[in-house]
Structure 1
């Protein structure tokens, strides 16, 4: 009988013969983002109650966390990991030895060892962790719009990172277009030219989507826009988007009581969806695409997809339909951060 097929039996605390467990770690390298949290997976197969055994996580010679007989041993832990590690007692009873590591630092990158020790026998496996930074990504391609249209200036963090507690600034030259601060819009610095015309996707900021909706575009809006996250721990905290505006106002005609865009030359496919008409651009960064689903913010134009986006940063929008076009209004669309004073 070879080693792989051999069944090893031992006498457990329940006085029943049970199969000797194997310890298994995640086979793929784990990638995580600075200041976020990550779960390093490790478990016993078949499941075995490990709550009363010794479970230890190490990185090199440093003890990350040590749990013995159901109790933590903080004296053995390296100071670097203090107050940032946890094992779930409930999970341990089910043979899940996974480690939660929070408030990630760039120096947390490394090879982690998960060990299960019982009856003076140690079983272990390894997990490779890489901690990186999110960069702010704008658009390499210019965003084009006609006078009177609404437009989305795409900007997101790659990989996705929650910036809801950080400050997000949009500027054109040195003029403040939109400022998000203290988890809401801050109108104090906004230039009067943009009042009641700019919005962020409030429910998407936590996913790293900081794209800006600019309504009722005018020729004066043309220029280079910068999206900026000042306190982001990254080498790339700014994204650039160029907006080009055609002075000729877009031709429209009435359709079911709403304004319908009729010129589809530069936007690709324009198709009716449930009595509404919407542009379906071929690709768009995922955070932006997700935020636009089921919105009612048309007529819209999208900017080009950043060429620096990775393979997973694009999405075919065959199912994406932005809601029916409507006249410019100053009320806040559902799901957006208002540019009006709080």
Structure 2
């Protein structure tokens, strides 16, 4: 991919025990946090050798199988779709973590290695104890953000978005990140909602060799891209809903990331509403769709207190703040209506 756009803003001097979460969220822009986790023992082990990093990780391993994606050399490290976009080009496999790590290392010198991609495995489930010396202090700020670990070779997590905010910590190897603001969705040509390599729609554009005849608007996305290369010990804040592609640049890579939402647990993911809107609204006549757009703007996308402002507080119900009790009532009501 030709480097266009601009470098991601960087910030030095952050510490794992003093995360500037409020500042990052208020800025709403991606930020490279140079050296944030350079003192993690995992990072230091990886700087010694890949074998030292593997030995360090396995010191916490419980013996439970882990799941990963595997593809042949023809995949080129890019889990994506087969032609037709109804099947993925990798297969899910399960193995012991020690066997998986040694298999990845055994192909380090292959000119065209198989694709190995262990994605989003919860640290507490597969490597309990790792957090004791390798963690960010989210809990100190009252934020629940259990870390996940990603381990593979020169793999590419094709450009996609996640609903939560994210801090991605490069623990072993180097990573290249390419980000786009949420308004670039149409210029990134998302694939099917299902299936998808990681649970989220990914771009159909191969950034290394973009087909501008099929995807001409990708040039517009390139112009506003943000990019950065991170070394082991660096981290990146990725705001909610920003599109991001993550490339492992070394023959062995480990990343630890933290997702967290800005809403309390009783507020569900908007993806449920998206699926319902596709079902209930998208195919209606254009006049009806425009009328529903006005209704949604009034009730949903405008100021949160607008629709109920002229009503007595006791009469507002769902037009007022939604607490856990009201959320349970809404869930029961929707479940009842959808099951009719």
Q: What TM-score does the superposition give when structure 2 sets the normalisation length?
A: 0.21
Point out the structure with the larger helix share: 2
Q: Which structure has the higher relative contact order (CA within 8 Å, separation 6+)?
A: 2
TM-score, structure 1 normalization:
0.21
